């Protein structure tokens, strides 16, 4: 379609001369409004990407709210806050929260590890015993990991305090 005016202009320039060709050229060219289809597709792509990211953000936010509701329902947050108030130190409440969370996370890990070990080695244990033993071992392992991490963090904090005190004194 766009080649038809060019062909008409060429034919008229041969027959009538350059003045007729410029008159037809000024009439035949459609006005350009600056529309580019690629810009539309880029805008649609980034709009879709924005909607996907908003959806992912909403899902992550709902998952965080669900986890917080579970922690409040189990009393982990409340007991840590009570420990902090009775001890009158924020670090005691944070330490209690740390121990309780790692014990809670160790529980399904202990059950899953015991189930996997029984499955791999062909040991047949009742499901009730598997839940009880796995829970106990998982909670104990979680508390041991919490103690190790607590000692590690205390070591790092003491080192940082010593390093900052030596820099201040010199």
Question: What are 64-119's pLDDT values in tens digits?
Answer: 999 889 888 888 888 888 989 999 988 888 899 999 999 999 999 999 999 999 99
DSSP-derived letter for residue 29 is: S
CA 72, CA 9: separation in Å to the nearest integer? 80
What residues does each domain of the chain span? 1-30, 75-170
Residue count of the chain: 170
Count the alpha carbons within 13 Å of 135 in the hemisphere toward its beta carbon.
6
What is the sign, positive or negative, of the torsion defined by CA atoms of 100, 102, 105, 108? negative
Distances (CA, A) of 37 to 31, 43, 76: 16, 10, 56
Alpha-carbon dihedral sign for residues 63, 65, 66, 72: positive
pTM: 0.60
pLDDT per residue as tens digits for the range 10-54: 665 665 555 655 655 566 556 667 777 888 899 999 999 999 999
């Amino acid at each position: 379609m766009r080649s038809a005016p060019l062909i008409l202009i060429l034919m008229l320039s041969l027959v009538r001369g350059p003045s007729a060709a410029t008159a037809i050229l000024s009439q035949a060219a459609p006005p350009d409004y600056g529309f580019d289809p690629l810009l539309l597709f880029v805008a649609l792509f980034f709009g879709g990407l924005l909607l996907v990211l908003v959806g992912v953000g909403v899902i992550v936010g709902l998952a965080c709210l669900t986890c917080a509701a579970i922690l409040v329902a189990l009393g982990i947050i409340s007991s840590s806050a009570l420990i902090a108030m009775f001890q009158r130190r924020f670090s005691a409440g944070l330490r209690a929260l740390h121990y309780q969370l790692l014990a809670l996370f160790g529980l399904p890990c202990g059950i899953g590890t015991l189930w996997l070990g029984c499955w791999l080695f062909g040991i047949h244990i009742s499901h009730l015993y598997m839940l009880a033993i796995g829970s106990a071992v998982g909670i104990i392992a979680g508390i041991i990991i919490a103690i190790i991490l607590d000692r590690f963090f205390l070591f790092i904090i003491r080192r940082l305090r010593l390093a900052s005190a030596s820099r201040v004194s010199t």
